[in-house]
Structure 1
Amino acid sequence: MSAADAGHDDVPGAGRRRRRRGRGEQPMVPDAAFSSYYGRPVLKRPTWRALDIAGYLYLGGLAGASSLLAAGAQATGRPGLAAPAKLGAAGAVSLSLAALVHDLGRPARFLNMLRVLKPTSPMSVGSWLLAGYAPLALTAAATEATGRCRTLGSAATAAAAALGPAVATYTAVLLSDTAVPSWHEGYRELPFVFAGSAATAASGLALASAPSPQAGPARRLAVLGAVLELGAFRTMRRRMGLAAEPFEKGRPGRLLRAAELLTAGGAALALPGGRDRRLALAAAAALLTGSAALRFGVFHAGVVSAEDPRYTVVPQRARRAARGRRFRE
C-alpha cells in the first residue's frame, strides 16, 4: 500500500464514501450500437428483387424435384404421374429463368455468365447447370405433349432427373457463399432444407394434377420432403445462434411459421389423400404454398440480417474470442 493510499484510509468515512460512490457510478459511454462502420453500413444490403429472386429459388427447386419424380414415374409405369411432372418441370424452369433474367435486367447478362466456367463459383456452376438442365426438361415435356420421339423423350427425362437434385439445391450453396449472416451461417443445413422444400413442392404439384391411383410416389415424397425440410431447418436454427434471430421475427418469422404449419399439414393430408380427391387437393395447395413461404422467408431473413450490423459484428467477435482462448490453451 502506498503512502497516499494509507493517508486516505486514515480519514474517517473515506472508505464508506468511496464504496457509496462506486455503487452509484454510471457509465460515461453508452453500450455500442452497431449501426455503421465509420458512417458506412457493415454490409451492403442485397439488391436482388424479392419477387424475382425468391421466385427463382422456389421455381428452380420445384423444377428439379419434378424431374426426379417424372423419371421415377416413367420407370415404374405411371404415365399419369410422369406427364404432369415433366410438364411441371419444364414450366417451372422456364419461369425460374425468366425471373432470373428479369432481375439481371438483360438476357445478355445471363449469357455473359456462360463465357467461362469457374468450378469455385456457385454462380458460374449454377448458370451452366441451368443451361444444361433447361433444354433437357423442355425436350422431355415436348415429347410428352406431342407423343413423338419417345426414345429421345425418355433419355431427356433421365438426364434431367440426373441433374434435378443439383438444380433443386445449388441455390442454397449460392446463398451460403455470400457474406449475408443468416445465409452464410446456415451453409451446413441449408442445402438439405432446400432439398426437402423442393420435394414437397414437386409432390404438391403432382398430387394436384395426377390421378390418385398413380400418385403414391408423390404422397410418399411429400412426407419424406417434409421431414427433411422441417428437421434440417430446426437443426440449422439451433446451431446458428444469433444469426438465426431474423428467421424468428417480423415478416420472415411469419412466413417461416406459416411454412412449417403448411408443410406439416400438407404432409399429414397427403397420405389419406389417395382415397379422397378433396384431401389430395388440400394437401397439394398446402405443400406448394408452404414451400414458397419457406423460400420467401429465407430470402427476407437474409436481407434483415444484412441490414443489422449486430448479426455481422457480434458473431465475428465471438469467433475471435474463441480462437484466442484456443490459442492460449
Structure 2
Amino acid sequence: MNHRSPDAPSDRAPRRRRRGGEQPMVPRAEFGSYYGKPILNPPVWAAADVGGYLFFGGLAGASAVIAAGARLTGRPRLARISATGAAGAGLVSFAALIHDLGRPDRFLNMLRVLKPTSPMSVGTWVLGPFVPLAGVAAASALTGRFRWLGSLAGTGAAVLGPAVSAYTGALIANTAVPAWHDAHRELPFVFTASSAAAAGGLGLFAPTAESAPARVLAVAGAGGELLAFERMRHRMGLTAEPYGSGRAGRLIKAGTALSVAGALGAVLGRRSRLASAASGAALLAASLCTRLGIFHGGVASAEDPKYTVVPQRERLRAAADDDS
C-alpha cells in the first residue's frame, strides 16, 4: 500500500508550474458560517425607503443653505427654487423614514430622549424641526407673504441644514455593516459633498444671472465627493470591494460618470440656462446613484462573511504584533 505523508500534496490538488518545478496551488479560502447563515444580519431596510431618506435628506439640508444665501444676496428666483426644494425634499425624506419605521409613533418615541452619542437620536431631533421650518420658508417664498417670518424660518433651516446633510453618513457608519463601519472617517464628508453637489444642481435650474453661487457649490461638491470617496476606498482596502462590483458597483460608476459630466456642464454651460439645467439634472442623478450604491454595497458586505472575518483576523494579528 502506498502511504502518503500528511504534508504531501493531494493528487486532486490543483497544480501550477513555476520556475523551480511543480508546486501545489493554495485553494481560495472559503468563509462560511453555521447553517450557511451570514455572520451579520443584513440590513432589512428597503432600498427605496432608506435610499430616499439618505438622498432627499442631504438635498434638503444643502438646499436650505443655498436658499438663505440667495435671500441675503438678492437672488429671489434662486431662493424660491432652493427653498421649495429644501421643503419638498425634507418632507419626502421624513416620509421615507416614517414609512421605514412602520408607524409614526415610533418617530415620536425617539423624541422622548436626546442621546448625543447616538447619530439616530441627534438626527431625529435635527430633522424634526428642520422640515416645518423649511416648509414655512418655502411657503413665504412662493406666496410673497410674511417675508419676515419666511426669512426667520429659512435662517433656522439653514442653521440646521449642514447637520441634516451630514448626519446620515454618521448614522449608517455607526453600525456593524463592514462597508459602512470601516468608512466611518470619510462617509460623512462623502455625504456632505454629495448633498452640496445635488443642491447646487437643483440651483442650476434658476436663471443664469442668479445661479453663480449654486454653480460654484455644485462643482465643489462634485469634486469633493469624488476625492473623499476615492480616499475612503483606498484606506478601507478589502471592505471597499463591494463598492466596485454588482449592483453597488454599477451605481457607483454611474454616479461618478454623472458627477464628472454634470460638473463639466456646469462650468462650460454657464451662459446657457438649458445646459445648466441639464448639468443640474446630471448632478442630482449622480448624488442619488452614489447614495444607492453605498446602500447596496453595505448590504452586500453584510451578506458575505469574508468582510467580517478577514478584518477581524487582521486586527487580532496586529494587536498580537504590538504586544510582542
The alignment's TM-score, normalised by the length of structure 1, stands at 0.90
The superposition leaves residues 270-290 of structure 1 with CA deviations (integer Å, 9 ceiling, x where unpaired) of 023221122112201110100
The superposition leaves residues 66-96 of structure 1 with CA deviations (integer Å, 9 ceiling, x where unpaired) of 0011111111111111111001100000011
Matched, 1:242 2:226: no
Q: Given that residues 248 and 293 in structure 2 are in contact (C-alpha distance below 8 angstroms), is that contact kept between their aligned partners in structure 1? A: yes
The superposition leaves residues 1-40 of structure 1 with CA deviations (integer Å, 9 ceiling, x where unpaired) of xxxxxxxxxxxxxxxx999995544799976522214654
Deviates further, 227-236 or 279-288 = 279-288
Q: Distance in 1 between matches of 2:124 and 2:34?
A: 34
| Alignment-derived partner of residue 43 in structure 2 | 46
Q: Identity percentage over the alignment?
A: 57
RMSD: 2.1
Q: Given that residues 213 and 274 in structure 1 are in contact (C-alpha distance below 8 angstroms), is that contact kept between their aligned partners in structure 2? A: no
Q: Distance in 2 between matches of 1:195 and 1:162?
A: 14
Rg larger in structure:
1
Matched, 1:215 2:211: yes
Q: Distance in 1 between matches of 2:43 and 2:5?
A: 51
Which segments of 5 or more consecutive residues in structure 1 lack a partner in the other structure? 1-16
State the SS of the aligned residue for 2:31. Answer: coil
Q: Which amino acid aligns with 2:264?
A: A
- Alignment partner of 2:276 out of 273, 276, 280: 280
State the SS of the aligned residue for 2:116. Answer: coil
The alignment's TM-score, normalised by the length of structure 2, stands at 0.91
State the SS of the aligned residue for 1:160. Answer: helix
Q: How does 1:1-329 map to 2 (within 5 A)?
A: 24-25=9-10, 33-37=30-34, 40-208=37-205, 210-328=206-324
State the SS of the aligned residue for 2:50. Answer: helix
Which segments of 5 or more consecutive residues in structure 2 lack a partner in the other structure? 14-25
Alpha-carbon offset, residue 165 of structure 1: 0.6
Deviates further, 30-39 or 110-119 = 30-39
Q: Given that residues 38 and 302 in structure 2 are in contact (C-alpha distance below 8 angstroms), is that contact kept between their aligned partners in structure 1? A: no
Q: Which amino acid aligns with 1:239?
A: R
Aligned residue-pair number:
311
| Alignment-derived partner of residue 7 in structure 1 | none
